Amino acid sequence: MGFPIFQSLERGKDIPQPIEIDIGKCLRFCRSVYCLTQKDVADQIGVPLQTLRQYEQGKGHIPCYMLWTLSNFLRVPVARFFEFEQAAQHDHNNFFWCEDEVLSGEDDEEEDDEEKDEIEK
């Protein structure tokens, strides 16, 4: 029988796969959060506007390097593209990377303690 994706390609039908549709939804969501147009993103990542449109519609196969580029530009972990439905529904606060994620929890606590000491003085 084989895998469905290979069967659809063999028949000459480039049918969008569910994962490609989910990645496209995630891309569209992230772009809208930053109030970016499709042209803005396409220009920044170096692809034609039509290519980005295909990605968002789940019609284009996104190469790995392009997922990496999109991930860095949109400040979204690559894994979020694959778990978008779950992450968007359950964890809005931690969907994007934050500058604070670079710091360890200990550094955050030390900064908080220093701020409290300054307030008390």
Single pTM value for the model: 0.61
CB neighbours (10 Å) of residue 41? 22
DSSP 61: -
- Those residues whose C-beta lies under 8 Å from the C-beta of residue 37, and which sit 6 or more positions away, are 31
Which domains are delineated in the chain? 15-120 (1.10.260.40)
- Going by the DSSP 8-state scheme, the letter that residue 15 receives in this structure is P
pLDDT digits (tens, 9 = 90+) for 35-92: 999 999 999 999 999 999 999 999 888 999 999 999 999 998 898 888 766 655 555 5
Q: Which of 3-7, 15-19, 83-87 has the lowest mean pLDDT?
A: 3-7
What is the predicted pLDDT for the residue at 74? 93
Q: Which alpha helices (DSSP H) does the chain contain, by range? A: 4-10, 18-33, 38-45, 49-57, 64-74, 78-82, 84-90, 105-120
**Mean pLDDT rounded to a whole number for the chain:** 74
Q: Residue 19: exposed, middle, or buried by beta-carbon count in 10 A (0-12, 13-18, 19+)?
A: middle
51 and 42 Cβ atoms separated by less than 8 Å: yes
Q: For position 27, what pLDDT does the model report? A: 93
Number of C-alpha atoms within 13 angstroms, CB side, residue 54? 13
Distance CA 38, CA 41 (A): 5
